Amino acid sequence: MDRIRIRGGNPLKGEIPISGAKNAALKLMAASLLTAEPLTLTNVPRLADVRAMAELLVSFGVGVQVTMAAKFGEGDTMKLEAREITSVFASYDMVRKMRASFQVLAPLVARQRQAKVSLPGGCAIGARPVELHLNALEAMGAKIDLAEGYVTATAPDGLKGAEIVFPFVSVGATETAMMAATLARGTTKIVNAAREPEISDLGNCLIAMGAEIWGLGSSEITVVGVEKLHGAAHRVMADRIEAGTYAIAAAIAGGEIELVGASHDTIASLLSLLTKAGAEVSSTPRGLKIHMNGTRPKSVDVTTAPYPGFPTDLQAQIMALMAVADGTSVVKEKIFENRFMHVPELARMGAQVRIDGDTATVRGVEKLKGAQVMATDLRASVSLVLAGLVADGETNVGRIYHLDRGFDRLEEKLSRVGADIARVPE
Ligand code: UD1
């Protein structure tokens, strides 16, 4: 298995192209199940999770055609055609690898009126149940059976519109309800919907496919079901988590990086913290610029929250920055339990972190030291790479299949801006 080797100390200079968003692309791909006509996605990131979703869709009979971008920094194009769905079964093996594959349940039930999908595995960051997804489908008239680790959902007469009130905000359940509602009879109102930009990206694609949706980006989404959806072309939004990660890379390593394609609005909560920590952030015609000139970052406190709050998917990365900041910072994780698995690994590099329930107290140290560390989940693993950029000596990150799930050619992007980073076979 490969590892990533980083020799710390180089400042970063240049530009990093931001890829299409993983968390948008996976749901957009699932949405192709809603129509018999082709859905063409552009700006698709090159990721293991995208390949896994493509494989799952192929197993349902979807034709998937990928045209790889010739130029570094441009996304791939993917044509998905679900002319006839030949299977509605998603096995444990398929869903275990990636929790987002559970998102095929709603479009399958909406179009085929039945599906059997394994309960998900995915990142080891807490229980991550799916009852909100299932309650939403039940409210829309589906019959749900749970047996032997599988969900069987049937709606022989089709789904019908309903009022769905979520007791708390869930990205995936909002997407499930929205996709299911596009082909339901009547109107669906989703109350306490998540407001993440990836949901709006999915909603806009569904609208391009003929869906009738109002209220995207707000906490109340209304969908009026239509008989059929049609083909469309859609550009996947830029990955705000990738953009945020490289913004933190510039802040931790020092230097000046332009994030081409990044948008200020989608990571405003992070950028205001980075400014407080001492970075200069400016918008450019092509994206964003982050400048940090040799000064030690100042500590800031962080609490994760649903959008537009600070994203849980950037918590590990900001903690790496706080590990070398001047002062003590309090990092609270309010979305997932058990999402501090990067802490023992950062500690191997000399980080001073104390955990108490959902709160980590990080006492910044002047220097981290390179070490052999292990990726434990997708976002945690990239925090170790960030720490490696500034640590003395060599850091080796193992189990990097976690990184490949969600970061498009990470080592190439970072080495092009001056980091000493390489993928080495073991
Ligand atoms: C999505 C993102 C993930 C991100 C998360 C929160 C994708 C592929 N993944 O995950 O990267 O970290 O949003 O921004 O888009 N919950 C329940 N019951 C449910 C559903 C959720 O209890 O039925 C809980 C979860 O355990 C968690 C919280 O609700 O504690 C939020 O989860 P949710 O927003 O659903 O996250 P995902 O959609 O899985």
Burial label for 389, CB within 10 Å (0-12, 13-18, 19+), is buried
How many helices (H) and strands (E) would you count in the chain? Answer: 14, 24
Write out pLDDT tens, residues 37-71. Answer: 999 999 999 999 999 999 999 999 999 999 999 99
Between CA 196 and CA 194 the distance in angstroms is 6
In the chain, the percentage of residues whose pLDDT exceeds 70 is 98
Write out pLDDT tens, residues 273-289. Answer: 999 999 999 999 999 99
Length of the chain: 426
Position 126 scores a pLDDT of 47
Measured from the CB, is residue 337 less than 6 Å from ligand 1?
Answer: no
Measured from the CB, is residue 102 less than 6 Å from ligand 1?
Answer: no
Measured from the CB, is residue 34 less than 6 Å from ligand 1?
Answer: no
123 is catalytic: yes
Write out pLDDT tens, residues 192-243. Answer: 999 999 999 999 999 999 999 999 999 999 999 999 999 999 999 999 999 9
Report the separation in Å between the CA atom of 256 and the middle of ligand 1, taken as the mean of its atom positions. Answer: 33
Q: Which of 18, 123, 178, 252 does the annotation list as catalytic?
A: 123
Measured from the CB, is residue 26 less than 6 Å from ligand 1?
Answer: yes
Mean pLDDT to the nearest integer, 256-266: 97
Mean pLDDT to the nearest integer, 258-273: 97
- Does residue 123 register a pLDDT over 50? no
Measured from the CB, is residue 23 less than 6 Å from ligand 1?
Answer: yes
- Does residue 125 register a pLDDT over 50? no
Measured from the CB, is residue 90 less than 6 Å from ligand 1?
Answer: no
CATH fold for the domain made of 24-235: UDP-n-acetylglucosamine1-carboxyvinyl-transferase; Chain (3.65.10)
Report the separation in Å between the CA atom of 170 and the middle of ligand 1, taken as the mean of its atom positions. Answer: 5
What is the residue with the minimal CA distance to atom 31 of ligand 1?
A: 170
What's the one-letter identity of residue 5?
R
Position 124 scores a pLDDT of 46
In sequence order, the β-bridge partners of residue 208 are: none
Between CA 318 and CA 274 the distance in angstroms is 9
What is the residue with the minimal CA distance to atom 19 of ligand 1?
A: 130
Confidence of residue 308 (pLDDT cuts 50, 70, 90): very high
One fold for 2-15+239-425 and 24-235: yes
Report the separation in Å between the CA atom of 172 and the middle of ligand 1, taken as the mean of its atom positions. Answer: 6
Q: What does pLDDT average to over the chain?
A: 95
Position 97 scores a pLDDT of 82
Among candidates 221, 207, 30, 191, which has minimal Cα distance to 110? 30
Are 348 and 373 contacting, i.e. CB atoms less than 8 angstroms apart?
yes
- Does residue 122 register a pLDDT over 50? no
Between CA 350 and CA 391 the distance in angstroms is 9
Between CA 32 and CA 231 the distance in angstroms is 8
Write out pLDDT tens, residues 142-159. Answer: 999 988 889 999 999 999
The domain spans of the chain are 2-15+239-425, 24-235
In the chain, the percentage of residues whose pLDDT exceeds 90 is 89
Mean pLDDT to the nearest integer, 179-197: 98
- Does residue 426 register a pLDDT over 80? no
What is the residue with the minimal CA distance to atom 35 of ligand 1?
A: 170
Position 128 scores a pLDDT of 59
Please give the CATH number for the structural domain made up of 2-15+239-425.
3.65.10.10
Query: 101: phi > 0 → left, psi -120 to 50 → alpha, else beta; which?
Result: alpha
